[in-house]
Each structure stands twice: as C-alpha cells, then as structure tokens.
Structure 1
Amino acid sequence: MPAPYPSATEAQPVARQPIWTTTGELHGYEYLYRSRIGRPAQVDRWSAPLQDGATACVLSTVFQHGEPPGDALAFVNVTRSFLVHDLPLPFAPGRLVVEVVETVAADRRVLDGLAVLRAAGYRIALDDFVASADQVAMLPFADYVKVDCRDVEADTGRLTRLARREGALLVAERVSSDARRRRCADLGFDLLQGDALGRAVTVQL
C-alpha cells in the first residue's frame, strides 16, 4: 500500500488564513491545499480519493517536521477517510483541529470516529454549517462550528442558536468587510475568519 502522505521532499505550498477572536487575538490558522505553483484548486469538486490526497498533502506539509511553528491551532479540512481511521492523522492532538468538510455523512463509523478523536484530545470543527441532518448529528462532538457569515445576514438567529446548542464556539467565515465583522460580533460569534481580517496567503513551511 502506498504511503498515505507524500515524503518531506514532496511537500508543496499551502495557504494559511488567520482566525481571530472578536477582541483581536490570534486563535489559529486554517491551512488550505494549493497546487504545486501555489494556486487554489477547487478541491471540493474533486473525487473522494483525490480529496483524501489533498488532505494528506496539507497534513504532511504542516506536520512533517513535528508541529507547525508558533503555538496557534492548525485547522485542516479533513475527509471521511481520516475520521474513520482508514487514513492516519498526525499525532498532534494539542495543535490539530480536525475540520470536518460539509460533504461528510454522519454514518455510524464517522460518529464513532469522532468520539475516538475527541477522547484522544483532538478538537473537532464542522465546516460550512447549514444545519443539514448530518451536521446536526455531529454537533455533540464539535468544539467549533463554522458558519458562512452571509448565511446569517437574513437569518432570525435560528442557525446560530442551533450551532451553539451543544456548547461549541462559533466561527464566522468569509468575513469580507468591516460591516460584516461588526455584525458577526453583534450576533455573538466567538471567532472571525475572512479577507477583512487577513487573506489566505500561500506559504512554504
């Protein structure tokens, strides 16, 4: 069976976008897949095996020499294969936040896998939360729930109340203006991420 991660010599660029508290303190970075020339690749349109490979590349690049520099948390989009232990995660429960992509179905193996990861000390984030049945089923395991701030602008508060129901921290994604930043803070979001607070910048770790 081939190695689940590329070797250290095959590491490629990743993008890094900061996640801030509403009081301006750095909480973590989301690390995102980029092509070998440093460009976005629309990974969400890829087949499941190719998405697994993209996740493996990011994990390998970020954690190949131990843990990423600094002490900020590292949020990484993770596919089903890593949640059910078909592919291994790096042993970094103190730093890695396992960000469950929105296409993952909450079947029994996934829910059991989330329970095992939480018990091992990993933090769990639900990405692009829209209150689908699968996402709601995963809420009891979530430390973070990430919501596109555009989805709550016309919302009466139902989405944020549901996202917070199990005690998770709320992360506003795609905060693209100061007006949206203020609006998300007023709505009670705990953390903010988006171009208004720092763009995703391609880095070579």
Structure 2
Amino acid sequence: MDGQLFGNEFLYRSRDGLPAQVDRWRSDRQDVATAMVLDVLFGDGPPADTTFAFVNITRSFLVNDRPLPAHPGRLVLEVVESVRADDAVLAGLQRLRQRGYRIAIDDFVGDADQVKMMPYADFVKLDCRDVRRQGAGLVQLARRHGARLVAERVSDSLLVEECRAWGFDFMQGDLLGPAVTERS
C-alpha cells in the first residue's frame, strides 16, 4: 500500500458505459460478457501495460468449457461469487495455477465454497462493508492460506486507515480513482 498502481479491474459495461449488473444475468450471458472483456484486453496479444488485469471469470472458463487467453502473465482470474467449488472447479483452479494464471476470489464473505477455493488463491477481495459487518475475523479467515488481500469499495480516507489497520495489502475504490469506461 505504497500508493503505486498494482492493477486494474476490467468489467463489462453497457453500451452507454454504465454498470450492466452482469452478476444478475443467466450464466451463459455472463460467459459471453467475460469472453468479450478478455477479447478486448488480449485479442491482439498481451497488452503493453505492466499492471495486473483483474477480470471476472465464470465457471465455464475455470472448467475449460471456454478458452482463456494464452498469456497468463498479468491476467488475474477473479472467481465470481456465484461459482460453486465442485470437483471440476477445484481441479480447474489447480490446473490454471500450474499454467501460470493468478487467481482471485471476489467478494469473499467466508462461505463454504469460497473457503474451499482459498488454497488456490493469490488474492482475496473483500468488500469493506462486509468487513465492517462481520468484523476482523473475516480478514483473518481470508488470509489463512497466504493470499494477498484487496479491500474493495474504499470510498473515503477514514476507510483507508481502517483498511491499513485490518492489514490489507491493496485497496480498490473510488477514493483511489474513479472508474472509467473506454471504448475500443
């Protein structure tokens, strides 16, 4: 947390640049949205940027039903909260880690499926609102397997100080820089 940019999260947006609430869509439509984001980022090879690219990934990408870019170096596969930790998903996480992909667990609240995926996680992302509701024990649980912790929804300087006290490694939120939409 030295103020340096570590990475960016890339999300699917509506044509007018607004959040599209993809997490409420049917899984097949979520797959298409993920594929579009990956194509924009990696369609012509890995981007020249040197920061990490966090991209929400659905089950289909984890179990090899849909292809991932062949450039794992900077891509962080952010496992969305709707993914259940069945045998195929856990095997996929292990396989992808062995191939050089980094894994993040998104919106960690400590549910059983997320806990099963933690041994494969390089990053665990926690919404600060959940940490305030559930307490520091949630942060301790998230750190259990050595993943680096990312505080999401950091919206004011008081929350920055709370995140430091909780022991987060990275922060994400509007206070740190507004979300932007770029069209390709």
Q: TM-score, normalised by structure 1?
A: 0.87
* Match in the other structure for 1:159: 138
1:170 match: 149
Instruction: Indicate whether 1:85 and 2:64 are aligned.
Output: yes
| Structure 2 Cα separation of the partners of residues 87 and 156 of structure 1 | 37
1:137 to 99, 104, 116: 116
1:71 maps to 2:50: yes
- Match of 2:11? 32
Report SS of the residue matched to 1:137: helix
Aligned to 1:102: 81
Paired residue total = 184
AA aligned to 2:94 is: A
Bigger relative contact order (CA 8 A; separation at least 6): 1
Which one has the bigger helix percentage?
2
User: Which residues in structure 2 correspond to 1:4-19 (within 5 Å)?
Assistant: none
Q: Does 1:49 align with 2:28?
A: yes
- Aligned equivalents of 2:28, 2:20: Cα separation in 1: 15
Q: Give CA-to-partner distance per residue, 1:52-104, whole Å, 9 cap, x none.
A: 00000100011112122310010000000000000000011111000000010
Amino acid at match of 2:164: A
> Do residues 62 (structure 1) and 36 (structure 2) align?
no
- Local SS of the residue matching 2:40: helix
Matches within 5 A, 1:119-134: 119-134=98-113
Helix, strand or coil at the partner of 1:99:
strand
**Structure 1 residue 154: deviation in Å?**
4.2
Residue in structure 2 matched with residue 190 of structure 1 by the alignment: 169
Counterpart selection for 2:96 from 107, 117, 121: 117
Q: Which amino acid aligns with 2:50?
A: D
Gaps of 5+ in 2: none
| Matched letter for residue 161 of structure 2 | R
- Aligned partner letter, 1:167: G
| Percent pairwise identity | 59
Q: Secondary structure at the match of 2:30?
A: helix
TM-fit CA distance, 1:147:
0.1
| 3-state SS, counterpart of residue 145 of structure 1 | strand
Q: Which amino acid in structure 2 is aligned with residue 194 of structure 1?
A: G
Tell me the secondary structure at the aligned position of residue 132 of structure 2.
coil
Which structure 1 residue ranges, 5 or more long, are not aligned?
Answer: 1-21
Query: How much does 1:40 deviate?
Result: 1.4
Matched to 1:53, the amino acid is V
C-alpha separation between the residues in 2 aligned to 1:82 and 1:146? 19
